Structure formats: C-alpha cells, structure tokens
Structure 1
Amino acid sequence: MKYFIYAVITIVGIAVIAGFFIVGSPGLQRLRRLDETRISDLQSIQSEVIFYWQSKEKLPAKLEDLTDQVRGYKAPSDPETNLSYEYEIKGEKTFALCANFSLSLGPEGNNAAIPIPARGYSKPGFAEVNWNWEHTEGRSCFERTIDADYFPLIKDQKTP
C-alpha cells in the first residue's frame, strides 16, 4: 500500500511537470492570453478605421474619432496597462497600429506554436485578404494600406 501511494504521487508529479512543458506555466498562459487580446483589439480597431475611411473618405485623426454612440463602439485599450493603443497616419490611406506585446509571435518567436488567426476579408471576385499579425516581444507596429478597390467608399457601393 505504501508503494502504491508513492507511485501515485510520482505519476501525478510527472503529469504536472509534463503539463508545464507541453502547455506552459500559468504565468506564460496569462501572457499569451494578453497578447491574443491585444491582437483581437488591433483587429477591431483596424476594421473600424477601414469603416471610418469608407464612410468619410479620410482616416480618423485619432482613435477617439472612432467612438460611435449609435453602434456602441469605443476603441479598446491595452488589457494590462489600460493605455490606448498607438495609432499613426502614414499617408492618405496608410496607417499604423502599435502595441506592446509580452511575447513574440511568428516564425522567429517562442510563441509560434500558438496561432492567432487574422480576421480575413472576402468578397466575390477578390481573393481573401489576411493581415499578418506576427510580432516581436515589446513594441510592434502593423502598417496597413487601405485598398480602395477592395474597400470602396460606401457612397460608391451599388445596391442590387
């Protein structure tokens, strides 16, 4: 009976250690979840910037301009620091979104095994557009250029 208890304790200990190697520590999982939230937030902001451009034929001057009481949208902030994400206009249809990430994500990063799907856009006659969200640990920026053919102005869209 004594050996049985030791065997069970050993097996449970090995299982816990193996779990940390396979899944990672709870702290690492928390960092991954924070980064996943950051990517999701940036995807949401990107969609709203594109919608703003389609509606007003210009990029918003700042993220606060995306606030829409009717649709209930307010640009999210970083889940850990509660600070606003960085947004910068780079050109007439080009902008950058930046965030501070806890881990790397991509071919060179430690977090490469954890996929974060990019929100794709598809439209008849066009290939699906998937944005790249690979990033390094620390501050990373994602520059985007709006394709006016793919995202036409709302006033130019024809209804059937």
Structure 2
Amino acid sequence: MKADGFGKVFLFAVTFFAAAVVVAGIMLIRSPGEMKLVKLDARRVNDLRQLSRMINAHHKDGGVLPASLAELSTAGRPRALLTDPVTGEAYAYQVASPLSYKLCAVFALSDHDEDPSELYGYSVGAPTDWRHDAGPYCYELTVKNRDAE
C-alpha cells in the first residue's frame, strides 16, 4: 500500500513538473506576430545606425551636420533608409548643437531586457547603446571621428 501511494505522488510530481515546463516554454517563446514586431524594430535600429554613419560621414566631409535627412538622400544615398518600414513616415532628425543631434523612431516593443548582440549585432560595450523603449524614442548622438556603432 505504501508503494502504491508513493507511485501516485511520484506520478503527480512528474506530471506537475512536465506541465510547468510546457507553460514556461510557451511563455518564453514569442508568437509569430511578436517576432515580426521584433524584426521591424531591429530594422528601425539598423536604419538609424546607418543614418548615424551617414551623418558622421557628412560631417567629416563638410564640417557641418546636415540640416535635414533629405540632404543625405540627395547625396546619392538610399531613400528607403530615411523612412519607417511600416508607416513610411520619415525618421525624425534634429540638430542639437554643432556636434550633436537626435535620431528618433517609433518602436513597437521595448528591448531593454534583450541582448543587443543577438538583435543588432553589437555588444553592450559598443560606443552607442541602441536599446530603446516602446513608442517614440530618440537617441542623442554626437559626431564621432569614426563611424558610429
């Protein structure tokens, strides 16, 4: 009788553990819709990183920040890079000082709990931290002598 009771307790414990593992797995795995949002946010970050490089190059070549992002597109650079991949709205850009500027986008999700090397291909120690909150978010950037990362 004792062995039978132990078997029931053991079976219950194993069943509970298996159910907990399944629930934890479901909670950790992102839905296809959320993965799409993650990829779109990664695209926005990559666009802004490229724009930052282009702004740095413009400053290096001309000694001044561009007055608008449109100046970058007229210099033979890709126009698609200037707009959000979903809304088609232009990314926001504002000159803050002769050496600093803001680049802004609207993000679907916050990525502060994510590893930037997995999402964007850079480590936390990179010169610019491209992590962001959900919603409108601006990066305050400074012209560098080399390309921004």
- Give the structure-2-normalised TM-score: 0.71
Gaps of 5+ in 2: 1-21
Of 106, 124, 128, the residue aligned with 1:100 is 106
Of 97, 120, 131, the residue aligned with 1:91 is 97
Q: Is the 8 A contact 1:98 1:140 kept in 2?
A: yes
Corresponding residue of 1:141: 138
Where is the helix percentage greater, Structure 1 or Structure 2? 2
Gaps of 5+ in 1: 1-15, 121-127, 152-160
Relative to structure 1, is the Cα distance of residues 62 and 113 closer, same or farther in structure 2, using a 3 angstrom cutoff? Answer: same
1:4-153 to structure 2, matched below 5 A, reads: 20-67=26-73, 68-69=75-76, 72-74=77-79, 75-107=81-113, 112-113=114-115, 115-117=118-120, 130-147=127-144, 150-151=145-146
Shift of 1:116: 2.9
- What is the aligned residue count? 124
Q: CA RMSD in A?
A: 2.8
Q: Within 2, Cα distance between the matches of 1:62 and 1:113?
A: 32
SS at match of 2:82: coil
SS at match of 2:137: strand
Relative to structure 1, is the Cα distance of residues 47 and 25 closer, same or farther in structure 2, using a 3 angstrom cutoff? Answer: same
